[in-house]
Structure 1
């Protein structure tokens, strides 16, 4: 999975924040970029995200609405998996990552790992 480009990330942020499908014009209105990109540029990048499988596309009158098909968490998890894939020693990399976590996040990770182990054991 490739990391989003700058405009792709801004478009996905707008759709994720909306929590519902948006028209290209609505996406453009939610972008806080200077200079503001052209409508056609946003439309083109939105179509690219649709072809990549990140956005759904549904007809709405003469226009289309684009909605997220995957969550921001799915995206970040994919990036983390990609980062681990290039690690020479995954265990050491994970250990270093966990050591850098704030205490509360490390405890939450521990709880999630316990749940995953219990789920696997019950299969």
Structure 2
């Protein structure tokens, strides 16, 4: 998995934030970029995201609507997994990551790990 390019990320953010499928024109309206990219540019990058499997495509009249096939959380988790895969020592990298967390985040991680362990034990 590779990180999205700048426009890819902006398009995915627009679709994720909308929580529904959007036409390219609607995506363009939601982009907060200066200068505003051309419609054809947004359409091309949206099609690339569709071909990569990040967006679904459904006919809507004469146009198409594009919706996210994976959540923002799935994307970020994939990036984290990729980062850990290049780490020389995954455990040391995870320890460093946890040390940088805010106290509330570390507590939430501890709770989630407890749930994962309990689920494993019950399977």
TM-score, normalising length: structure 1 = 0.99
Unaligned runs of 5+ in 1: none
Q: Which runs of structure 1 show a deviation greater than 6 angstroms over 4 or more consecutive aligned residues? A: none
1:11-30 equivalences under 5 Å are: 11-30=11-30
Q: Which runs of 5+ in 2 are unaligned?
A: none
Q: Distance in 2 between matches of 1:54 and 1:95?
A: 31
Q: Could you list the per-position Cα deviations for residues 67-102 of structure 1 after superposition, in whole angstroms to 9, with x for gaps in the alignment? A: 001000000000000000000000000001001101
The number of residue pairs the alignment matches comes to: 123
Q: TM-score, normalised by structure 2?
A: 0.99
Aligned counterpart, 2:103: 103
Partner of 1:74: 74
Mapped partners of 1:38, 1:96: distance in 2:
42
Question: Secondary structure of 2:59's match?
Answer: strand
- Measure, in 2, the Cα distance between the counterparts of 1:14 and 1:93: 32
